[in-house]
Chains A and B, each alone.
Chain A
Amino acid sequence: MALGTQASPAHSPGWARGLGALLALLGGLLVLLGTGVGSTGLENLWPLLWGGQGDAAERAMALQIVWDIRLPRTLGAWAAGALLGLAGAVAQGLFRNPLADPYLLGSASGASLGVATVLALMGGGAGMVGGASAAMAVSVYSSHWLVRLGLTGAAFAGAVLAVLLTLALARGVQHTLRLLLAGVVVGVVLGACTSLILLVSPDSLQAMQAFLLGSTGFVGWTSCLLMLAVWLPCLAAAWGLSRVLDALALGESTAHSLGLRLAPLRAALVAVLALATGTAVAQTGLIAFVGLAAPHLVRAAVQVTHGRLMLLASLMGGALLAGADLLARGLLAPQELPVGVLTAVLGGGYLLWLMHRKTATRGLL
């Protein structure tokens, strides 16, 4: 089917293992490198950390920058990339469409809507502090659970709700085209809802902008560990379910004839997809094209079954986003480019090239 995008990738499992090791090594290297790139280069921190220069406070500051800021955000960038890469591989296998993207199920617009809602509620709370105490009560009430849930929780809840809505509209996951269409419709409608909320509460407009840009700048150890903790079971589940994707690649009737119960397995894969995307989006904001590009790059290098593809795409996504994050930090230092902007530019370019190449060789898709 449409999966045959490979030009002439290597077949042997040795290649796959080699690529996996290479990507894992690259990821580790990028994470190490990540501790050295930031607003103040490593050359400014090195003498403080190991040279014994500076007073105790300065050394503590240098340690905090490397250990509490750079390491979690670099590792976090890798983890978010790994989640998106995994989600991309699952989405492309599930929809048997090489241009499928984890955001296709409306999860990104759902996450945005969740964030906009919380921002509007918090904005209403922040606006009142100067005045009435009655409004204060409202703000305290809203901070009770919604604000504690926070932007991240809201983004996750929004992403999951959007996927459920898409599935309800598509009446299940049996019909691929209907699912894709439902995803597009949900995306547009939820996007409109977000715009409406932002219009009614213009105070939240700016904060929303920050979320839409996508950045790893706010990723601390908690977010980082959360992403890693979600990534491992997601990868395991996807690996376990990958046989379905292999069978699906041969066509639905073949998959049925192999005795696979497609509906529940597909639903499980959609759950993995939503969980992986929702977690990454919730922690880093919208980061485009990593989920799309990672599986493609893997398939361009090796031809593997879906199980291996998941792992490799995940490692590739991690390396891609960690690398993009390093670039985003280094290009304009000490200013910082939101990494979402960078991946959108790079990934968009890659997609265009992909389309161009495909159109040139055998027609798009």
Chain B
Amino acid sequence: MNPTPVKRIVIVVAVLLMLLLLMWGTARAQGVQLTDDRGRTVQLARVPQRIVSLLPSLAETVCALDQCQRLVGVDRYTNWPESVRKLPQVGGGLDPNIEAIVALRPDVVLMATSSRAAARLESLGIPAVALEPKTHADVQRVLGKVGQLLGVPDAQRVWRATDAGVQAAAQSLSPQARGARVYFEVNPGPFGAGPGSFIGETLTRLGARNILPDTLGPFPKLNPEFVVRADPDLIMVGARSAEGLAARPGWGQMRALRGQRLCVFTPEESDVLIRPGPRMAEAARLMAACLERHAGGAAAKPTRGGAQ
């Protein structure tokens, strides 16, 4: 149904008004104003040029926006891209070295919401922006926030590229590589990646089925027995927790381990996989390659399913 001319005029006027408001707002602010994930409104007099990041995925986001040169310090876990390795390290996200941060004279410090540094830095007059990406939607939102903070006009192009990369990885999969029941272990706790996490979302887009139900939350701590009973077709795990996987009670009898349908990711690959940032497309490619490599596992599934 076509809108009536009156409606059309109203819509155009409304859009124009909003644009005007937006322009007026940006002109008035001069600097930057944004609300971070603590719900705190952070106001900066000018676009920040010196940035310290206390979270790897946020540093990666800054660099993906081609603003790597504005980073003056990072936390000890940030290692991508190569250029950030030369930057001064200011401790970890949880135990940041406050005075090392102050010595770098940053315009703003990016960190996770769980970091205790925010309050202390703010009391020292250094603005802190806490952002915590956990899902694909979060990654897109955080990208927008960081873009807004840095004054980068089209931040969403990075998201579109990431999203297209995930999509391409999904489309590259052969039909028999789809539908595998996958267990992704984040940490030998064991903590698994549920369907609600960004890892789980990528797996879902790749056509894999997560053995964890959504109700358990994004990264639930599991009873090892749960995984044995779920008996996944395929296990994805980092090299750090792959050792002794088969030695866990009962795990050696799981089909995935008996059939060696196990993808062990190197620490570098794990970094790509477990960081919710612009490298999610690469993560999707890694997971897709794993699914493709063990495409036979899913095919064996129907008979097994019938037996249950």
Contacts and interface: CB of A to CB of B under 8 A. Distances in A.
B98 A217 contact: yes
Interface in B106-152: 112-117, 119-120, 123-124, 130, 132, 134-135, 137-138, 141
Contacts of B96: 217
Contact of B97 (A68, A207, A217): A217
A39 B97 contact: yes
A189 interface: no
A240 B201 CA distance: 64
Contacts of A204: 114
Given A125-B39, A210-B95, A218 B120 contact: yes
A123 B90 CA distance: 24
A28 B191 CA distance: 48
Contact of B100 (A40, A140, A215, A222): A40
A329 B53 CA distance: 21
A199 B221 contact: yes
A122 B115 CA distance: 12
Contacts of A207: 94, 114-116
A139 B123 CA distance: 22
A37 B59 CA distance: 29
A115 B73 CA distance: 29
Contacts of B97: 39, 217, 334-336
A53 interface: no
Nearest to A147: B38
Given A69-B124, A140-B39, A207-B116, A335 B91 contact: yes
Nearest to A151: B116
A65 interface: yes
Contact of A210 (B94, B100, B191): B94
B184 interface: no
Contacts of B94: 206-207, 209-210, 213
Interface in A315-347: 334-336, 338
A238 B228 CA distance: 59
B70 interface: no
Interface in B149-181: none
A130 B135 contact: yes
Interface in A116-167: 119, 122-123, 125-127, 129-131, 136, 139-140, 143, 150-151
B89 A202 contact: no
A220 B120 contact: yes
B116 A130 contact: no
A64 B120 CA distance: 13
Contact of B132 (A40, A126, A215): A126
A171 B285 CA distance: 64
Nearest to B37: A129
Given A126-B38, A202-B217, A207-B115, 11 more contacts: A39-B99, A39-B100, A39-B103, A40-B99, A61-B102, A65-B103, A119-B114, A126-B114, A207-B94, A218-B117, A334-B97
Interface of B: 37-39, 76, 88-91, 93-100, 102-103, 105, 112-117, 119-120, 123-124, 130, 132, 134-135, 137-138, 141, 191, 217, 219-221
Ranked nearest first, the 10 interchain pairs of A and B with the lowest CB-CB distance are A39-B100, A126-B113, A210-B94, A207-B114, A69-B99, A129-B37, A218-B120, A130-B138, A38-B99, A206-B114
17 contacts: A65-B102, A65-B103, A69-B98, A126-B113, A130-B37, A136-B39, A140-B39, A143-B39, A206-B112, A206-B114, A210-B116, A211-B116, A213-B95, A215-B95, A218-B120, A335-B89, A335-B97
